[in-house]
Structure 1
Amino acid sequence: MRSDGSNIATFPLQRHSQTQVGFERRELEPILNLYGRMVAAGHWRDYAMDMGRDVAIFAAFRRASERPQMRIEKRPVDRNRQGMWTLRGEQGQILKRGHDLAGVLAPVERKLLKLVSD
């Protein structure tokens, strides 16, 4: 407070900007391509994306009211460990992990081939 009675509000120091993990276009293309083929096969009907500070998630649903049948997670923190890509099943179990998105999507691609051949 100043001696003349007026208040001076100071702005807080700018902290490091909080980063948000997201999908790049080259990452979303194979994911959405797979999603579109699964929709065409009648297996999925909806999807959702969640992008937070630590993880970006693409979730595919059979029906919008259910829990996701499959989730693709991108965690850059794990890039130097087991790979930043994780494929999770409906119960949350880890189905595949890796450094390469195509390798992580491979189990779903195989499932799609079975759906088409039936």
Structure 2
Amino acid sequence: MDTVASRPHRLAATPTSRTMSIAARVYGYPPAHNAGSEWMLHSMLRPLAERGHRVTVWLSHPGTIETSYDIDGVRVIPTRRAPTSPPTPSARTCCCPTSRTSRSSPVSPPPAGSP
């Protein structure tokens, strides 16, 4: 009779030769940003990098950081967004007939005196 107790013990994760590419997109990352969430993410990504996985962090708001850097095997890449122009006002900003922000709404108000 096969029971769980009679089976040989196996580790939950067995090492393999396959590597993963792991990417994270975050606001900031150590050492420039030293809040708890940044260090918590680093504490999760660092062991993956130590196991040989390719770990990359993309910064959405790099601040003064202009070049990529490595910290404990984690590659950090600052990204710069192209400046965006403010949205152009459209002819139809709201479909509500009583809206004061949309004077060119295709919906006409109900005739006076109608219920």
TM norm. shorter chain > 0.5: no
Structure index of larger Rg: 2
1 or 2, which has the higher helix percentage? 1
1 or 2, which has the higher strand percentage? 1
